[in-house]
Amino acid sequence: MESLVDGYTHDDQICETCVLAKHERKIIRILVQRTTTPFELVYSDTCGPFATKSIAGATHFIVFINDFSQYAYVYPLLNKLAGTCTGIFQLFQKKVENWGYNIKRFCCDNSRGEYNNRLFLSILAAGGISFKPAPPYTQHKNGIAERTISVLMRKARSLLLDSRAPTEFWAEAIGTATYLHAKTPNRAVDGKTPYEPLHKHMRLATGSDYVADEPSSDKPPLQHLRHFGCVAYKLIPKQQRVDAKMGAHSKKCMMLGYVHNTTKIWKL
């Protein structure tokens, strides 16, 4: 206006009409101090529904992320009801406690179906866990969980497309993507893999190893990794062979993932 009107002056007052017409979200990015103890802070979010149910009937999945190492844990969900999500959280909580740790803070979005409900809040209160929900309609406040789900979905989609496996195996692809994510370098933990700081802390603090088969190094084991969807031949035990004399000794299968606490078992 100053370039159009000679002698134009402005009183610097806020124009309410402009605020109402042009107001946009401003995302304030502040570097958050990383926690120093595993599972002290856990982020969580859900994803779904998927157009196709998994072979086990799941339509969603829920993810829990350990802030200390960015290690993610995924559980398929048959639905997003409060009872289902609370039960899964209790399984995760018990696993953490068996490792000798306690969850102190729980961050999530403000969804009343999964988290912000009486049942789930009562479980958190009973465990002395602080509930830290994001404000309504501000998913970026739960950014770590949002980004982790985005990364896992890209990995899982790539696995399915590359292997040409049926879409019903999406839950297995998500599980494999999560397993590989823990063994992939991450800028959030100074270029290390999420496996390394968690495994090192558990080994030094509790004397136990996250993967029992590989106690000698904090580096993630890689020698057991296989191509998702590759052909695998499973030995048929003698007791299960239809024709003990002339029948086949193995069955042709497809590799669909790993078991988190061992390097000697694959899902077929």
Query: Which of 26, 41, 36 has its CA nearest to residue 144?
Result: 41
Q: Are the C-beta atoms of residues 102 and 83 closer than 8 Å to each other? A: no
Q: Clarify whether residues 131 and 177 are in a common domain.
A: yes
Query: Would you give the DSSP letter of residue 151?
Result: H
Q: Clarify whether residues 104 and 200 are in a common domain.
A: yes
Please give the tally of structural domains in the chain: 2
Q: Clarify whether residues 58 and 169 are in a common domain.
A: yes
Find all residues with CB under 8 Å of 84, minimum gap 6, and list them.
77, 78
Q: Are the C-beta atoms of residues 38 and 69 closer than 8 Å to each other? A: yes
Q: Clarify whether residues 147 and 261 are in a common domain.
A: no
Q: Clarify whether residues 61 and 194 are in a common domain.
A: yes
Q: Clarify whether residues 133 and 255 are in a common domain.
A: no
Considering 206, 222, 239, which residue would you say is the last residue of a domain?
A: 206
Q: pLDDT tens digit string along 35-91?
A: 889 999 999 999 989 999 999 999 999 999 999 999 999 999 999 999 999 999 999
Is the residue at 238 inside a domain? yes
Considering 206, 221, 247, which residue would you say is the last residue of a domain?
A: 206
CA distances from 178 to 95, 148, 171, 204, 257 (A): 17, 9, 11, 25, 10
Q: Clarify whether residues 171 and 244 are in a common domain.
A: no
Q: pLDDT tens digit string along 157-207?
A: 999 999 999 999 999 999 999 999 999 999 888 899 999 999 888 888 766
Is the residue at 220 inside a domain? no
